[in-house]
Amino acid sequence: MKRMSDATAIVVLTRQGLATAERIRSNLAGARIHGYAPRVPDADARFNEVGVELRRLFAEGVGIVGVCAAGILVRTLASLLSDKREEPAVVAVAEDGSAVVPLLGGHRGANELACRLGEALRVPAAITTAGETRWNVALDDPPAGWVLANPRRYKSFMARLLAGERCRLDGEAEWLERSELEFKSDAALTVRVTDAPAIGDEDTLVFHPRRFALGVGCERGISEIELVGLVERTLADADLSPLSLAGVFSVDVKADEPAVHALAESLGLSARFFDPPTLEALTPRLANPSDAVFREVGCHGVSEAAALAAAGDRGALRVAKTKSRRATCAIAEAPSPIDAMRLGRARGELTVVGLGPGTPGWRTPAADQAIRSATHLVGYRGYLDMVPASADQVRHAHSLGEETERVDQALALAAEGHRVALICSGDPGVYAMAALVFERLEVSEHARWKRSEIVVSPGVSAMHGAAAMAGAPLGHDFCAISLSDLLTPWTVIEQRLRAAADGDFVVALYNPASNRRRRGLARALDVLASKRRPDTPVVVARAVGRDEQSVTVTSLRDLDQSSVDMMTLLIVGSTETRVSGGFVYTPRGYRGKRTRAEGADDDRASSPGSRATGHGRSK
């Protein structure tokens, strides 16, 4: 199943449509304007190929509001359509805002989105799905907190309703009772509302209100199999459907417990966590308070207390604490559906994002997705300026030299349950922030920092960008060395340079020189020149991937050191590196391999043991 994104992209193709797109964005939190670059250069994100951009967004599960003709969206996305239950919302809006039409994902948010846009643009949304137009209800898209248990039966069930058959309501649901469906007690079709497991059939649609909270506690390192097995047995004994659960809840010290997250994923639910004081306040309502648990985590119960905290003041335990060898679970019942996303906090996420050298075309889709989904963006202000932020994202800009402050702020925000993107240039693991994140985690005394999920999203490094512009100088063994001695003693840097020179590596030199630091570059080139010819190719790459980029090829003998600064990266070739046809490349030895193979063929052809000559002589 596609991973559905929280983001919405407003795709605009003309400058005339930009005003409409901006009106939409002002009424749609988190949305970004994606503009066709030749006509809409001032958009949050720009693209050059309409079809490629639309298909990419759709494949990533991003909702699309196309400020363009509906036919463009239909023709572009038609080949990607498969299962309507997995498709993101796609809405067409006329260039002047005079029409709003949900095209795809009507019951996955498109109808609701179209209605919101219609209100903002003061035009009626053109809703065409049958349930809404006839009965003012979408049975395959129930309200938040409700789930249709057998969606595959919906199509045939709806077809029979449209053909004139009646249905009856088995159970209570205010949203169904408010609809214009005419329920008859003797009807052949049934809409059933239940907490119990129910499969449904061709005559029955089954709906579950998500009004039960599952609380869990466990020992560190418990297996997923044990925890999932305990919950499955508990639900079966209580005659409760897993689809009646609203979420998985626990104490915050379990926020990084893999089995808890595996359980939530297996149930298709969110995992949410409460701090110990919140759970301790519920001690009078616990069926099984424990002093031992209090000594361990600071509250007298985890599974029961977490379930009750989620169910609210009017909730009550449906299943008291149930145990396996290393885990406990409990289930609390609320009078109405529970909104898990408003309770406790999620496990924080910190993604260390590499933007690449600068050009958006070299930024990975994973990096774009991490930036879009983040609630907080942290980084050097120059890097943040390269990233369009939506209105609901908080930016935390830092100055040069504040690397530790950036990392600590990002870790602290993630520990509070936020989705954080720490923005780096190039690849975050190459002379950037990823290593510092893990270093700070190792020495930190903040236990909450260690509970967040840490992801490193790779990017195109400066040396790979420079190499691509020049040809393939990194085609054989290479290394990267920073000439900055702010954090590394020069004696260590020089030792590494000599090892690289002795090993005949192609060498990428990062941070080669600054206004005050010039001597190191001259010494580094002397070390490499001691093992290289004067005509060894040198790639001089400045501001790679940016508007002011320049990539030139010179030699060790002719390199103008005065032109090198902190925006420059140098690639010094090995003894095998050559220049041909304007490109720099370092061969891996395929020519020699072919020559050796041809020689071996000649040897085999003259060998008495070869099949060809043996047969020849036998004739």
Encoded amino acid at 520, one letter: G
The residue among 475 and 108 whose pLDDT is bigger is 475
**Fold of the 8-128 domain:** Rossmann fold (3.40.50)
Confidence of residue 602 (pLDDT cuts 50, 70, 90): low
Q: For residues 76-82, give the mean pLDDT.
A: 87
What is the CATH architecture assignment of 212-342? 2-Layer Sandwich (3.30)
Confidence of residue 608 (pLDDT cuts 50, 70, 90): very low
Could you report the per-residue pLDDT of 389-427, keeping only the tens digit for each? 777 789 999 998 899 999 999 999 999 999 999 999 999
Single out the residue of 366, 386, 390 nearest to residue 376, CA to CA: 390
Confidence of residue 7 (pLDDT cuts 50, 70, 90): confident
| Rounded percentage of the chain residues whose pLDDT exceeds 70 | 93
Are residues 217 and 328 in contact, defined by beta-carbon separation less than 8 angstroms?
A: yes
Q: Which is it for the CA torsion 44, 49, 50, 55, positive or negative? A: negative
Kindly state the tokens that stand for 135: 């009965």
Could you report the per-residue pLDDT of 117-131, keeping only the tens digit for each? 999 899 988 877 655
Q: For residues 47-76, give the mean pLDDT.
A: 92
pLDDT at residue 614 in the model: 33
Select 349-460's CATH number: 3.40.50.620, 3.40.1010.10, 3.40.50.300, 3.10.110.10: 3.40.1010.10
Please list, in sequence order, all residues whose beta carbon lies within 8 angstroms of the beta carbon of residue 178, skipping any fewer than 6 positions away: none
Q: Is the pLDDT of residue 618 over 70?
A: no
Q: Which CATH class is domain 463-585?
A: alpha beta
pLDDT at residue 520 in the model: 92
Give the chain's mean pLDDT. 89
Neighbouring C-alpha atoms within 13 Å toward the C-beta of 266: 14
How far is Cα 197 from Cα 206, in angstroms, rounded to an integer?
9
Q: For residues 505-528, give the mean pLDDT.
A: 93
Q: Is the pLDDT of residue 613 over 50?
A: no
E strands, 111-203, are 146-148, 167-170, 189-193
pLDDT at residue 600 in the model: 53
Q: Is the pLDDT of residue 299 over 50?
A: yes
pLDDT at residue 134 in the model: 63
Hey, do 212-342 and 349-460 end up sharing a CATH topology, with the first three levels equal? no
Mean pLDDT check: name the lowest of 386-400, 422-436, 469-483, 544-558: 386-400
Single out the residue of 47, 48, 52 nearest to residue 32, CA to CA: 47
How far is Cα 522 from Cα 528, in angstroms, rounded to an integer?
10
Confidence of residue 388 (pLDDT cuts 50, 70, 90): confident
Please list, in sequence order, all residues whose beta carbon lies within 8 angstroms of the beta carbon of residue 361, skipping any fewer than 6 positions away: none
Kindly state the tokens that stand for 511: 């941070």
What are the residue boundaries of the structural domains of the chain, listed by start?
8-128, 146-209, 212-342, 349-460, 463-585
Q: For residues 528-554, give the mean pLDDT.
A: 93
SS (H, E, C) 457-478: ECCCCHHHHHHHHHEECCCCCE
Q: Which of 53-62, 65-74, 231-240, 386-395 has the highest mean pLDDT?
A: 231-240
pLDDT at residue 611 in the model: 33
pLDDT at residue 606 in the model: 44
Q: Is the pLDDT of residue 147 over 90?
A: yes
Single out the residue of 297, 256, 291 nearest to residue 275, CA to CA: 297
Confidence of residue 609 (pLDDT cuts 50, 70, 90): very low
Could you report the per-residue pLDDT of 198-244, keeping only the tens digit for each? 988 889 999 999 999 999 999 999 999 999 999 999 999 999 999 99
pLDDT at residue 594 in the model: 60
pLDDT at residue 6 in the model: 58
